[in-house]
Structure 1
Amino acid sequence: MPQEKVYLHVDRSYYASGETIWFKSYLTIGPFHEPSLLSQTVYVELVNSDGEIIQNLKLYSPDGFASGQFDLPDSLSSGSYLIRAYTNWMRNFDESYFFHRQINIWNNESSEDVAVHQGDIDVQFFPEGGDLVNGVLSKVAFKATGPDGLGKVVKGKILDGENVIAEFESNRLGMGAFAIIPQNGKQYKAKIEGLNQDIPLPKSKDTGIVMTVTNSPRSEDVIIKIQTSDNLEKGTIFLLAQTRGLICASSSVDLSEKIMYAKIPKKEFPSGIAQITALDKEGNPLAERLVFIDHQDHINLTISTEKYIYAPRDSVRVNIQAKNKEGLPVLANLSLSVFDSDQVIENENKENIKSNLLISSELKGHIESPGYYFNPNNPDREEALDFLMMTQGWRRFQIKVLLKAESKETVYRAEKGLTIKGKLTDNRNEKPADAGLVSYLSLFPFTDSKTVKASSNGEFEINDLVYFDSTKVILEGKSKNGRIPVSLHVEQFYQSPVIKYLWTSSYHPSVDKKNSFVSKSIERQNIEKAYNFDDSDIALEGVEVQGKKIIERYSGPRIYGEGSVKMKVAGNPALENLEHPLDLVKGRVAGVMVWGNGQVWKVLIRGIGSINSGTDPLIMLDDIPIAIENLYTIPVMEIESYTVWKGPDTAIFGARGSNGVIGFYTKKGIPERPIDPVKKEILAPKGYHIEREFYSPKYHFKDLNDPKPDRRITLFWEPYIQTDSLGNASVMFYNHDVETVVQMEIEGISISGNPAYSKFEYTINK
């Protein structure tokens, strides 16, 4: 059961509506985080705070790497959004294994973020190893969180009745620890300063063991101390130490003494979280402790530029060198984000690829400021990391289940490509075409053909296909004897896993910085409208076209007028090959928000008020109202055009149009070519996402006086940087016009799975 992980490097942490989110996908597998060759499809979704998927992409990842982008509609409302990524294989495990990252998106026309409810602070206590045992000295860790899911600084006392037996105080992340020797028959409670509540400590056991682990960064060994209660039956227990499923050490411990010690050399473990478990002879866990092993074997990145101060529109060459712990060059796959740090203020303790692979992807629940534990500017980071190990538990391996060979069978296959499912039916009676054949043909990006046999109920499934958005693929259906006309019915929609993620208060700058960010975003949009930036246009000589004028058939509304916005679909392959009719509207009509997948879709037309307290607009097909959930039955290939009514234009509909109207108009009156009843081109499900190259202007000498202002936030994004045999790589880009401090962030992994993360700054000054 190898474990895959997905990590996304995102170009920054917050955006304005109408901008683009650029990202790079790193797909790893196994205990050493090597690039995964098991799955080749990565699903990436953009989710709003109501848990609704508003955009979803499929990335082709044949070697563990892929990149893409989300183009945000200008009508997207302000709020906290979630980027989720996973593979089909990862669905065999818990959703908490998926990659999750919250980002903020702001719209100048939207209201401020809703304040988090200020309720009681939640404090939990975690005895080291698992249990308190009467008469045995134990360390107890604790974690205090607020309603926003973030750690809260607390102070308090441990009481035995009215007697104070211990005091405690948390660090800035709400975690800490204290020592206690519980006694039989006593119930202890914690009293938190400033709170009107007493919190009971976990009850202690009369019999058992207490496992204490010392993991000093200055020691080469992990020291394990086993203490037993006086009445514990003597015998032998076993210690098992593993990291990400890799067994690193095991031994037996004789309980003839009340206190026993064992040590494990740290060199036995790879870097990351080690799980040390004490088990009885039947394999039942008695105590468990997590420790973090850090061999400092991540990739060391050296970033340099020719100077530290540049002029606006200067060219900048960035030289990158990757070396391992021993100073030897490393082959690494990297991605680079360069942004204006005055416009984007990043949290210095945010997650990066190192903290994700080694910590966040291994522990339960939300990890606040995961970069804190690797930031050398935090002197208490090693102690804080040990508190984290004691409080947030383990979820990957259940030793008892694995020892009894009760691990579940896999339900979801590892995908080497896309899947087309459907049904083959007899044209004469619509019954399943038993044992019929279905063939697939695609010519891009390479010629590929496959044939499968339909089941007794006519169902078929073609796996591991590689084709991209807007690529034409051909499906051919045949009956068993090849003489009976058949029809192909293809499932168009992918059913995403249920979203269980719990939102927390995500990091964002002050209100003043936020307002400045949004106003500058509006300034950039106005610049885009005022200037023509496409300098690739070439003026051609005039040509004279002679022919006969064709009167186009009217394909719009017959009853309700021209509407506010009208768009022709027929004849535009980029539109005709979309999956759902509402995909035609999404991101193409200002003020109209569309999100959803499968049969579940939502539409919100901004600026429209409802008299019925609803928000759903009126949907029409050829001027006849239709339920939005029935739109999926209309092939986009059959739509000639669509029209949107909003604002005053909806008056003709009366109360029915109070939330706006969208009308779709099909191709009528156009004679269709006779089609072979056995062969027919079928619209395939959505293909792989086609990544777009990041646009970065090139300011050569003649362009330095270009009057168009350059106010970019992300100055440069390069998802594919490969170091050579000497560990070297370089990229070049041009500055914008703003005097500011520019920040670079580089992330990536080596071919052996070691993570890399580094930052660098330079200044733009006239």
Structure 2
Amino acid sequence: MKKILLVFLILNTFQYLIAQNNFVSEVINPLKDKPLLFEKVFVHINKQNYSFDDTIWFKAYVVDNENSFSSYTTLLYVNLLNDEGEIVTSRNVLINKGVGVNQIRLKGNLETGNYFIQAYTNYMRNFGEKNYFLQKIKIEGDIIKRKKRKKKKIFSIELFPESGVITENSLNTVGVLVQSNNRDNNYYGEIVDSKGRKVAELKDRIKTISKATFLCKPKHSYYVKVYINDTILRKKIEVRKKNKTSLRYLRNKDSIEFIVYKDSNKLNNYRLFFQQMNKSLNHYFELSKNSSSNNIKVNKNIFQPGVNTVTLFENNKPILERKFFIYDNPSSLEIKKIREDTDSITYKLKLKNSKNKGISANLSMSVLLENEKKVIVNNNIKNAFLLSPYLRKLKHESFYFLKNSEKALDYLLLVQKMNYENLKEMISKTNPRSNFNFELGFNLHGTVSPVLANELILLSNEDVLMDKVSLRGQKKFNFKRLLVYKGDTLKISFLKNEDVLVPKKIIIDSVKSNINSDNVIFLNTENDCFIRENHLRFDSNNINLDTVVIKGKKRSVRSKEKKELIKKYKSIVKDIGKYFPLKIDKKDRENQLSLMFYLFREEGVVLKRWKNVENYLSVGVNKEAILLIDGKRMTSDDLLGISLKVNDIKDIAVQPIGRGNIIVQVFTTENYKNNVIEEFITVIIKDGYDREEKYMVSGLNLFDTNEIQEIDWKPILETNSSGEVLIKIKKNKIFDKKNITFLVEGISNQGYLISEKIITN
């Protein structure tokens, strides 16, 4: 008998070890196989209501799974979308060590209405558009949008059993989401059986969500009954009769408790597995086979701050899931006025942790003046990094981070469904393959012909080497990871034995990042979410960001060109306002077209000789043209010796004078004036980073009592080791008897998230 018992124990142990090894090889290892870094974005905007000619100032934060600044991505795409999901304008934002500052200047012809700030990196596309940052704003446009007809009220009830199922002979908790045309409604509700008897009441309604706990008896049907205005809604609760397994979650002070109810007659293997997005914990919990109820207590410290997920596996198959929230380390922020001068007020900002010690942090601050309206924030950095990337999109995101909002947040997590049906689908969604790379700057692609040397170099306008590529006999080239801005001009040349050779012909295919942007973005109107120091080169290990000031050149309308012409040459030519500029084509510069041929082709100017005595320029029929180069009029002798090429010319301007005669002003380059020959071809960057502009404080209107007014925007604030930083606000008499609101967002050096709204008099 003892031998039989020993054999039985050995077999059981052997089977347990096999099952355990299978779980590791079939579940844990595939989920943890080369997990992708999970990037998240938050964009702190200076306010949420704008006029049609306003500027949206913003600071972007890009972090990884653990809310540390991302050291990989250097390019963030920020779009302004209308309420149809169409791109109104876009910005390419430079991200340095996880942060970037920029702006969106609003232009006319905008309709009044709701718009959205959308932001994402190329790498974030691996996890789908649902993880993009999205922020609703309102713009008072110069076109009044026609009001849509009021839709007929359509009520909806969604039921969310805790862990996904309602089981018989056990206590079940069900979350109830009640909406009308996606709007909040006050309602009362209860759970009734098939005979209409109330078995539980929907309690603690928060926004659109409430919940109830009831005992589900066998052979009984149950319904959720909701009373909303003058409407009664009723929905049947689906009960899983065959599988009696359920999962409940309880929050304690220092631990998380999970209660699993299952059929004790089944000798299946049950395990609890924890993860946050695609970051899996290093251990799991094996449940007792012989017990129908298993209580598992887990210390909170093993989890990541934010939304975590527990999945119940039955024989390596995911069957139930529950999301729960772990709060990050608390911090407190104080703002005190320390000095008031004639034109400004100085405040001291102090950031402390729970032990009252100062915190070093990277912050941004919006300063607003409250009139009759109160400053309401519908998004913040905690929501963007701890909540929204892990959940289905719902309204009132920042509401869940107000004081005493733990219950509301748990309700929100209660109504999250498991988004996969089997292990294979779970693995593919949890740990997707990498199809989109990190982006380090922009690439400059092109073709050069003929190939005069093996090496092609790229220079800034200050002749500092930016990059060098080896052609190896090929005509195509690619300069990679460049920090270039729209409108920059760069120089390309061959390098041969320390000598430079000017290329004969260069065609620039593109200046772009590695992203292949989708043009179509769909708007899901049900939940307001969109579904779909040395130089200018990036290094994968180090990023040098001392920007070389490069003069930009952009095509513009004639009026703007004329204004620029006047501004540049009014000190040389007194009546420059009477001239209009001529355009020199890029191909003419590349082909080094002569000035005289250019004037003949564009204006019909011909060199003639009068009675074999002197030379002059003729235009049209017996009309005269006068030519000046850098302010000097060309004489008869000068005209014969002109060998100027258009690639040595900066600008050409023409002034018509009486009866068809004209004056031509030619302004040469500095290199031509100094007799310097440049052996390169200049290219103009049409796509690159958008430059950050200097913030300009908006003027305050004493008589504006309806809108929240902007006082200041401070995107770059860094507290010292004591957690302090001084800020100065320009003074205005409108401040009297009004509240100033400071909206502060940021991240500490320890990874704490800071989001504070402080109101002072």
TM-score (norm 1): 0.68
One-letter amino acid matched to 1:195? T
- CA 1:454/1:97 → structure 2, altered by over 3 Å: closer, same or farther? farther
Selected match of 2:173 from 139, 142, 149? 139
3-state SS of 2:743 partner: strand
Selected match of 2:722 from 715, 726, 736? 726
The separation in 2 between residues aligned to 1:544 and 1:249, in whole angstroms, is 76
- Asked whether the equivalents of residues 73 and 440 of structure 2 are also in contact (C-alpha less than 8 Å), the reply is yes
Residues 1:417 and 2:417 are matched in the alignment: no
3-state SS of 2:733 partner: coil
One-letter amino acid matched to 1:468? Y
- CA 1:397/1:268 → structure 2, altered by over 3 Å: closer, same or farther? farther
- CA 1:477/1:488 → structure 2, altered by over 3 Å: closer, same or farther? farther
- Asked whether the equivalents of residues 17 and 76 of structure 1 are also in contact (C-alpha less than 8 Å), the reply is yes
- CA 1:460/1:122 → structure 2, altered by over 3 Å: closer, same or farther? farther
Who is 2:713 aligned against?
Answer: 717
Who is 1:356 aligned against?
Answer: 384
Aligned length: 592
- CA 1:10/1:548 → structure 2, altered by over 3 Å: closer, same or farther? closer
3-state SS of 1:204 partner: coil
- Cα shift at 1:243: 3.2
Selected match of 1:305 from 337, 347, 362? 337
Who is 1:65 aligned against?
Answer: 99
Selected match of 2:760 from 752, 759, 762? 762
Selected match of 1:369 from 396, 406, 412? 396
- Asked whether the equivalents of residues 51 and 499 of structure 1 are also in contact (C-alpha less than 8 Å), the reply is yes
- Cα shift at 1:15: 0.8
- CA 1:396/1:465 → structure 2, altered by over 3 Å: closer, same or farther? farther
- Asked whether the equivalents of residues 167 and 244 of structure 2 are also in contact (C-alpha less than 8 Å), the reply is yes
- Cα shift at 1:466: 0.4
- CA 1:736/1:237 → structure 2, altered by over 3 Å: closer, same or farther? same
Who is 1:523 aligned against?
Answer: none
More helix by share: 2
- Cα shift at 1:461: 4.5
The separation in 2 between residues aligned to 1:343 and 1:447, in whole angstroms, is 57
- Asked whether the equivalents of residues 59 and 66 of structure 1 are also in contact (C-alpha less than 8 Å), the reply is yes
| Structure 2 spans left out of the alignment, 5+ residues | 1-35, 529-568, 586-649, 654-663
- Asked whether the equivalents of residues 184 and 206 of structure 1 are also in contact (C-alpha less than 8 Å), the reply is no
The separation in 2 between residues aligned to 1:398 and 1:443, in whole angstroms, is 58
Selected match of 2:460 from 429, 436, 442? 442
The separation in 2 between residues aligned to 1:446 and 1:439, in whole angstroms, is 10
- Cα shift at 1:92: 1.4
Within 5 Å, which residues of 2 pair with 1:78-93? 78-93=112-127
- CA 1:708/1:197 → structure 2, altered by over 3 Å: closer, same or farther? closer
| Structure 1 spans left out of the alignment, 5+ residues | 428-432, 507-542, 556-567, 572-637, 642-667, 700-706
- CA 1:447/1:220 → structure 2, altered by over 3 Å: closer, same or farther? same
3-state SS of 1:35 partner: coil
- CA 1:469/1:339 → structure 2, altered by over 3 Å: closer, same or farther? same
The separation in 1 between residues aligned to 2:449 and 2:292, in whole angstroms, is 78
3-state SS of 1:715 partner: strand
Who is 1:191 aligned against?
Answer: 225
Selected match of 2:349 from 282, 304, 320? 320
3-state SS of 1:134 partner: coil
- Cα shift at 1:201: 2.3
Within 5 Å, which residues of 2 pair with 1:279-678? 279-282=313-316, 284-294=317-327, 297-306=329-338, 314-342=343-371, 345-347=374-376, 350-366=378-394, 368-376=395-403, 379=404, 381-393=405-417, 400=424, 407-420=431-444, 422-424=445-447, 439-443=457-461, 447-451=465-469, 453=471, 461-475=478-492, 487-491=506-510, 495-497=516-518, 498-503=520-525
- Cα shift at 1:226: 0.8
3-state SS of 1:491 partner: strand
- Asked whether the equivalents of residues 132 and 204 of structure 1 are also in contact (C-alpha less than 8 Å), the reply is yes
1:156-190 CA-partner distances (Å, limit 9, x unpaired): 33343333343325624111111244455655433
One-letter amino acid matched to 2:447? L
Who is 1:653 aligned against?
Answer: none
- CA 1:544/1:125 → structure 2, altered by over 3 Å: closer, same or farther? closer
One-letter amino acid matched to 2:392? K
- Asked whether the equivalents of residues 347 and 728 of structure 2 are also in contact (C-alpha less than 8 Å), the reply is yes
The separation in 2 between residues aligned to 1:267 and 1:89, in whole angstroms, is 29
The separation in 1 between residues aligned to 2:84 and 2:96, in whole angstroms, is 33
- Asked whether the equivalents of residues 393 and 527 of structure 2 are also in contact (C-alpha less than 8 Å), the reply is no
- CA 1:225/1:452 → structure 2, altered by over 3 Å: closer, same or farther? farther
- Cα shift at 1:115: 6.5
- Asked whether the equivalents of residues 493 and 502 of structure 2 are also in contact (C-alpha less than 8 Å), the reply is no
More strand by share: 2
- Asked whether the equivalents of residues 84 and 523 of structure 2 are also in contact (C-alpha less than 8 Å), the reply is no
3-state SS of 2:387 partner: helix
The separation in 2 between residues aligned to 1:639 and 1:91, in whole angstroms, is 45
CA RMSD of aligned residues (A): 4.4
3-state SS of 2:130 partner: helix
- Asked whether the equivalents of residues 444 and 467 of structure 1 are also in contact (C-alpha less than 8 Å), the reply is no
- Asked whether the equivalents of residues 204 and 210 of structure 2 are also in contact (C-alpha less than 8 Å), the reply is yes
TM-score (norm 2): 0.68
Who is 1:11 aligned against?
Answer: 46
One-letter amino acid matched to 1:361? P
- Cα shift at 1:8: 0.9
Selected match of 1:749 from 708, 732, 747? 747
Residues 1:101 and 2:125 are matched in the alignment: no
Within 5 Å, which residues of 2 pair with 1:167-178? 167-169=201-203, 171-178=205-212
Who is 1:38 aligned against?
Answer: 72
- CA 1:463/1:188 → structure 2, altered by over 3 Å: closer, same or farther? farther
Residues 1:684 and 2:706 are matched in the alignment: no
- Cα shift at 1:386: 0.9
3-state SS of 1:681 partner: strand
Selected match of 2:191 from 158, 161, 183? 158
The separation in 2 between residues aligned to 1:345 and 1:732, in whole angstroms, is 23
Who is 2:608 aligned against?
Answer: none
3-state SS of 1:389 partner: helix
1:643-690 CA-partner distances (Å, limit 9, x unpaired): xxxxxxxxxxxxxxxxxxxxxxxxx9999999x9x9643332322222
| % same residue | 20
- Asked whether the equivalents of residues 12 and 344 of structure 1 are also in contact (C-alpha less than 8 Å), the reply is no
3-state SS of 1:129 partner: helix
- CA 1:278/1:550 → structure 2, altered by over 3 Å: closer, same or farther? closer
3-state SS of 1:470 partner: coil
- Cα shift at 1:720: 0.5
- Asked whether the equivalents of residues 301 and 757 of structure 1 are also in contact (C-alpha less than 8 Å), the reply is no
The separation in 2 between residues aligned to 1:196 and 1:405, in whole angstroms, is 39
The separation in 2 between residues aligned to 1:672 and 1:184, in whole angstroms, is 94
Who is 2:694 aligned against?
Answer: 693
1:503-562 CA-partner distances (Å, limit 9, x unpaired): 4698xxxxxxxxxxxxxxxxxxxxxxxxxxxxxxxxxxxx9967586797767xxxxxxx
- Cα shift at 1:299: 2.9
Who is 2:273 aligned against?
Answer: 240
- CA 1:554/1:333 → structure 2, altered by over 3 Å: closer, same or farther? closer
1:25-82 CA-partner distances (Å, limit 9, x unpaired): 111112x201110111111111111222121111111211111111111432211101
- Asked whether the equivalents of residues 697 and 734 of structure 1 are also in contact (C-alpha less than 8 Å), the reply is no
Residues 1:27 and 2:27 are matched in the alignment: no
- Which shows bigger deviation, 182-191 or 321-330? 182-191
- Cα shift at 1:263: 0.5
3-state SS of 2:185 partner: coil
One-letter amino acid matched to 1:693? K
One-letter amino acid matched to 1:474? K
1:292-344 CA-partner distances (Å, limit 9, x unpaired): 1225x13321211138xx89x75111101112222222110011111111176
- Cα shift at 1:692: 1.7
- CA 1:328/1:473 → structure 2, altered by over 3 Å: closer, same or farther? same
- Asked whether the equivalents of residues 477 and 488 of structure 1 are also in contact (C-alpha less than 8 Å), the reply is no
